[in-house]
Amino acid sequence: MLSGGLLTLAAAATVVAADTYNVPAKANPLGEPFDGFVSYSLEFSSFPDFAGNKSHPNTFSGNLLANLARLSTTPYIRVGGNTQDYALFDASQAAALIGTVDPSRSPDYPTTITIGPAYFESYATWPGLGVRFSHGFNMGLGGNRSAGWQTLLDTVPLACRALKGKTYTWEYGNEPDLFSTSAQGPVRPPTWNESTYVEQWLNATRHIRESVRKNCHGTASPRFMAPSNAGVSNHLKATKMWPAGLNQDNDIELFSTHNYISGATSPGVTLQGTLMNHTKTMLSVDAHTKEYDAIFPGARAAGGKGSDKTPPLIFGETNSLYNQGKPGLSNSFGAALWGVDFNLYSASVGFKRVHMHQGTNYRYQAWQPVTTDLDVVGTKAPYYGSVAVAAMVRPVKKNTPVSISAIPLGSDSAEAAYAAHFHPAGRKNRDESRLARVMVINLHGYNTTVGGAGLEPVLNPPARMSRTYTFAVGGAGVKDGARVGVQRLLANGSDAITGITFDGWSYNWDLDHGKPVRLHNVTVGETVKVKGGQVSVDVPDSSAVMLSFGNC
């Protein structure tokens, strides 16, 4: 039986009263995300699985994307990742993609790949959703093998034709800062540096621009996201790429960086200590804003909207644990809660879009798109984190976006809270703002399975603790007596891998192929009342609650 709402609260061992926390009175100028803030990065070799083709479109993926579009705005899809830099083109190949897995290089994705013209059919499978894409071109083999360069020349026309009217940007190369040190095999010499990277980048992006001009008449001149680095402390650094002239053509429209909190096999990785840890999340995200500020001083403080020379900041690829995640951690409800915290904190410090990465059979994926010999088709726990974030960042109405602020909760790393404000006059009056929503995330672990692995249930699990959070909202313009809607993100525990709901909705494949299904054994329709300028809500350990004010 699923636990939820008042049912969960009634089973709590102890209700702990917390302090009263002040909600910011005004909108955070850094925290206004772009449309499609909740977005995805799909592994290049997995894209045909996630999207299907013209004759067999993947309607399950389409249903899950449509859910997010209805809740907020349509996700943007980045097609790329490590395998974009292994893919070579074969014009005579009938199959969309043929890949060979070498377990010594990676057991999770092919490292020898050829794609045929049919690969580009996958961009046409979700026509009614208005999805916009980026396509990742092969830089890894494009700079040191003739076949790699020829692949670029051959595929640019195919990509621009397939993506006409559907492109949000282009990408040349994935994680070039690892090209000379990659565990899957270096594709550049130890002398690889920022100047050489910039030289190769400019040469190729100019060829891409010229090819689009010749082959796709009426298509806007390509613009790019870059540098798509794996991190801030690797062999090549963005702080040296920009001074070396990376954007001298003024064609980079998004500053894309990648992030993983830790690695699947890194020592000491745990659900509570690594993912359900707000302090660790903040430190990880803040390293990227520090890098961005060093390159573009003042850009975030000015709202981060960007220009030719100051592209706005996004996570072009991110997820919980690199090396495709760890079972029992990355596929758990705790990882979904981490995803809510990670996304909302990123929004609060100026990230304009977050692309959660996934691939076929990956442990951290939001859904498994097809059945394989390793996994069955289905909705995974992290998808519910995406749903909760989409609900929190959705515009109040058309052309009225929200701005996300962090609400400090003291020194406890196992909890976090955020506010969403909006400008009632839209963008016409940026001085006045009102509170739309508050999200509180209780990251204290609560496990109901042996070893917390989400598999064998504990016969008599301990009672679940609940904590009361009180927020002072009078200063944010909320009046006494106002009824506040309560929507809960719930599962049986942080180690749960199934039985997850948001506001009583399930998006399981088994129920209706990912379309929303309201479950009747989960309490919904809760409200709380504002009294003395404050609102209180009980939040069980390992769950999250969104409070909605007015009709927001």
Q: Facing residues of 368 across strands?
A: 378
Please give the angle made by the CA atoms of 315, 441 and 68, to the nearest 5 degrees. Answer: 50
Q: How far is CA 470 from CA 226, 282, 534, in A?
A: 42, 23, 7
Q: Would residue 121 show up in a list of annotated catalytic residues for this protein?
A: no
How far is residue 122's CA from residue 53's CA, in Å, rounded to a whole number? 5
Q: How far apart are CA 466 and CA 74, in angstroms?
A: 34
Distance CA 134, CA 355 (A): 11
Strands (E), 44-198: 76-80, 87-89, 97-100, 112-115, 132-137, 167-172
Name residue 490's beta-bridge partners.
Answer: 501
Catalytic residue among 121, 253, 291, 317: 317
As a three-state string, the secondary structure of 450-507 is HHHCCCCECCCCCCEEEEEEEEECHHHCCCCCCEEEEEEEECCCCCCCCCCEECCEEC
194 is catalytic: yes
> What distances in angstroms separate CA 86 from CA 45, 145, 174, 185, one per listed residue?
9, 11, 10, 11
Element at 148 (helix H, strand E)? helix 146-162
**Total residue count of the chain as it appears in this document:** 552
Most distant CA atoms of the chain, gap in Å: 72
* Calpha distance 376→540 (Å, rounded): 31
**Cβ contacts of 161 within 8 Å, gap of 6 or more:** 120, 215, 216
Q: Which of the residues 171, 194, 253, 415 is marked catalytic?
A: 194
Dihedral angle sign, alpha carbons of residues 240, 344, 61, 128: negative
Give the catalytic positions in this structure. 194, 317
